[in-house]
Amino acid sequence: MNGNKLAWWIVGGAIVGIVIIYLAISGAIKIPSGVRTAEETGPLATATSQGIVAAPGLSPVSKEGQVVNKNTGAPVKLDVTPGSPDAPQQSDPIALRDAPTNSIKISMSAEGIAPSTFRVKRGEVVTLTLTATDNQTHVFAFEDSSLSAVAVGLAPGETRVTAFNAPSARGEYQFYCNVPGHATRGETGTMIVE
């Protein structure tokens, strides 16, 4: 009898396990993915940003907080190929809660880029914290070739930081997601340099 009971417990346990796995796969049970949404991180309001920033992997900012430099100490260049030696380096992936407090926090998803507009001052150090808030890959980039080096690729759910000096000329600089099809569905925005 005891052996029979044990067998029933094993069979019953296996059935419960299978049902839980099925529900998880079918989406009936939500397993937290670690992706933090814009709602959880507070309002993504229009903001300006300036100052010394620290995030692992990020190009260093000069002591005075005025210039984004290479590790050698020379200023980065913004009209070069992203990822090339003179380009500003994006940070390693970080937790959104570790984002520099003075950074502009931007969410990228199939819904668009939010905020889609932000303002900066001419020449100031601009720090962007970019998060892919859905389960897709996104690539933040500017249209203007004078900012071609500022590009950040994000795996699903990932947050990375980039810093660069704003252009010295007033104007509107369009940015977009460089993944094919993403800009046409609305992943675009404007940086206003005042």
Q: Is 78 in the site for Cu ion (CB under 5 A)?
A: no
* Distance of closest approach, residue 114 Cβ to Cu ion, in angstroms: 12
Residue 128 · residue 104 · CB < 8 Å = yes
| Per rule CB under 5 A, count of chain residues that contact Cu ion | 5
* Distance of closest approach, residue 91 Cβ to Cu ion, in angstroms: 19
Estimate to the nearest angstrom the gap between the alpha carbon of 151 and the chain centroid. Answer: 11
Distance CA 190, CA 143 (A): 10
Quick one: 179 or 192, whose CB is closer to Cu ion? 179
Q: Binder to Cu ion among 179, 186, 188, 192 (CB under 5 A)?
A: 179
Q: Which of 128, 140, 126 is nearest to 194 (CA)?
A: 126
By CB under 5 A, which span of 3-11, 16-24, 55-63, 184-192 interacts with Cu ion? 184-192
By CB under 5 A, which span of 50-58, 91-99, 151-159, 180-188 interacts with Cu ion? 180-188
Quick one: 2 or 33, whose CB is closer to Cu ion? 33
Q: Among residue numbers 112 through 171, which ones bind Cu ion (CB under 5 A)? A: 138
Quick one: 105 or 182, whose CB is closer to Cu ion? 182
Q: Binder to Cu ion among 152, 182, 189, 193 (CB under 5 A)?
A: 182
* Distance of closest approach, residue 125 Cβ to Cu ion, in angstroms: 25
* Distance of closest approach, residue 154 Cβ to Cu ion, in angstroms: 8
What residues make contact with Cu ion under the rule CB under 5 A? Answer: 138, 177, 179, 182, 187
